[in-house]
Chain A
Amino acid sequence: MEKILTQFANSGASEKAGLFDSLGIDWALLAFQTVAFLILLFVLRKFVYPPMMEMLVKREKDLKAADAAAKSAKENADKAEEMTAEIMRKARAQASDIVASAREEATEVVEEAAKKATAKSEALIKEAHNTIAQEIENAKKDLHNSTLELVAEATGKVLGEKIDAKKDTKLISEALEEAE
């Protein structure tokens, strides 16, 4: 660098031709390289860039199509998700209605069953009371009748043993007096 700066400082304006030499530029080589570059550029533009551009364009189109498809798929997915959510919401609402209705019906059934059971139990209790009352009444009658029968039988036996001729005569006399 120091050498270059030194050479540049030491050279004058008169030495323009030597400037390129001092810079190390070879005109022939430069021309040759320029031609080679242009040829390379021509070849690239002629044979490399078009298919590459075509490929890039196609790639871009594919990417755009894929992007559009992705967007469409995403939209469809979103729609599907919304539909699913709507269906689920409706299904939940319907299920909730069904459950509420079922609970209501179950409550009604339970209440109806409870009413029937209560009525039946009350009828059974009433019938049992009637039966018990009837049985008590029958038992009282049986007791009354049995008592009468026992009293009559016992009285007959006792009187049969106790009544002698004298008492019998007195009985007859009293009966006659009563009949008169």
Chain B
Amino acid sequence: MRLVSRKKLAKYAAEQILAGNDAVLEEIAGLLIYEKHEREVDLLVRDIEAELAERGEIVASVESARALDDSTRRKIEQFLASAASDKNSKPKVSLRESIDPTLIGGFKLQTPTATLDATVSKKLNDLRAKKI
């Protein structure tokens, strides 16, 4: 049984990261190992990103078949910023890019709370899913 819930841990980590204390990530990693909850690392990262997003720091994963050029990258950041912005503040967007040639074309955008799959492979899979 863990001493601190994952939600609280994510909230703490997000606050520390925004405060510039990047060492908190090593502490959390040590805690997960100590509590033998290594398998929860992905969930915890997602929770931390969600907490950061609530605080105006959006971390999104972008998968594409080819490397993004600067113009495309800016469009994606603007898209994310406009989607998450409110009247008082403008969020800061960070992209975690990865290349997967099997996507063929387009891109797949994942935030802690939403996913936008606009890849050609997704469309082809949708077509395959129409099998009777």
Contacts and interface: CB of A to CB of B under 8 A. Distances in A.
A150 to B, nearest CB: 11
Given A145-B131, A148-B130, A152-B127, A179 B120 contact: no
Interface stretch (A13-21, A109-117, A163-171): A163-171
Interface in B65-97: 65-66, 68-69, 71-72, 75-76, 79, 82
Interface residues of B, number: 27
A168 B65 contact: yes
B78 to A, nearest CB: 8
Contacts, number: 70
A128 B106 CA distance: 50
A163 B105 contact: yes
A168 B79 contact: no
Interface residues of A, number: 24
5 contacts: A141-B132, A151-B127, A152-B125, A163-B65, A172-B72
Interface of B: 64-66, 68-69, 71-72, 75-76, 79, 82, 101, 104-107, 116, 118, 120-121, 124-125, 127-128, 130-132
